[in-house]
Structure 1
Amino acid sequence: MKHRKHAVRTTSWIAGTAVLTSMACDSQQQFAELLRRPSSEDAQRTYSQALTGVQAKPADVGLKDWKVGQDAPA
Structure 2
Amino acid sequence: MPVPIGDEALARLVTRALPARGVIANLVEYPGVPRGTARLRLQLMATHTPGDIRQAADGIIAAFGDGSAELASLME
TM-score of the superposition, structure 1-length normalised? Answer: 0.37
Report 1 or 2 for greater relative contact order, CA contacts < 8 Å, sequence distance ≥ 6: 2
Higher helix residue share: 1
Higher strand residue share: 2
Structure of larger gyration radius = 1
